[in-house]
Copies of this chain bind each other. A is one copy, B any other.
């Protein structure tokens, strides 16, 4: 185990003074209800958001608040964290209980993302905030170089609204047509109506929000093609 952790330490760019903290950060809840990485994840999540926010604030002195918020959302969302965790090789070192091991838990995005956040929490306890910030920003260095206020698009509903407003059209109306299944595995069917254009677009999704975004995207592509 310690050899493995040594290898991971090199990839992380950080060597723990307290190896127990390192192991705790990699311990999924399926190992133990009491001794797992959930508290460290709570801590790391808040630190990550602050590091990224502060970095974006200073990197983009002319970006509006909405642009900063969208860039942050992209960088700290579960999918991005799971990608970073994969690049660092975190998945190989996850400590999982029987059930999660069998189900291929070390590949699941959410477990990887949570472990990455837990590592951040563990590093801050092990070495303080300055070191932690330096290590974490290095993990995100490539993505921070790539991102720009222009590269992160607004969501479909916002773009649809702006498109319609710019052309003096009425705003869209969204209505839930049906909700099927039991939470948390529900499917929402949503209709997006463009009142003065007399068009309706129906889409489904795992949440009302997702279904609405999907319907808005459909409306947008129709508008962009037919205008």
Contacts of A38 in B (CB 8 A): 64-65
Within the assembled complex, what's the spacing in Å between the Cα atoms of A42 and B64? Answer: 10
Contacts of A182 in B (CB 8 A): 171, 173
Contacts of A176 in B (CB 8 A): 176, 179, 208
* Chain A binding surface, main DSSP class: helix
Within the assembled complex, what's the spacing in Å between the Cα atoms of A183 and B172? Answer: 9
Contact with B along A30-72 (1 / 0, CB 8 A): 0000000011011101110110111001000001110011001
Contacts of A69 in B (CB 8 A): 42
Within the assembled complex, what's the spacing in Å between the Cα atoms of A49 and B171? Answer: 35
Indicate if A92 sits at the interface (CB-CB under 8 A). Answer: no
Indicate if A175 sits at the interface (CB-CB under 8 A). Answer: yes
> Nearest CB to that of A181 among chain B residues?
B173
Within the assembled complex, what's the spacing in Å between the Cα atoms of A175 and B38? Answer: 31
Within the assembled complex, what's the spacing in Å between the Cα atoms of A49 and B52? Answer: 13
Within the oligomer, what is the number of copies of this chain?
A: 2
* Interface residue range, chain A: 20 to 34
Indicate if A22 sits at the interface (CB-CB under 8 A). Answer: no
Whether A39 and B53, one on each chain, are in contact in the complex, defined by CB atoms closer than 8 angstroms, is: no
Contacts of A65 in B (CB 8 A): 38-39, 41-42
> Nearest CB to that of A183 among chain B residues?
B174
Best-surrounded residue of A42, A52, A121, A179 (most CB of chain B within 10 A) = A42
Whether A39 and B54, one on each chain, are in contact in the complex, defined by CB atoms closer than 8 angstroms, is: no
Contacts of A171 in B (CB 8 A): 182
28 contacts between A and B (CB under 8 A): A38-B64, A39-B57, A39-B65, A39-B68, A42-B53, A42-B65, A42-B68, A42-B69, A43-B53, A43-B54, A43-B57, A45-B53, A46-B50, A46-B53, A46-B54, A46-B72, A47-B50, A47-B53, A49-B49, A49-B50, A54-B124, A57-B121, A129-B129, A171-B182, A173-B183, A176-B176, A176-B179, A176-B208
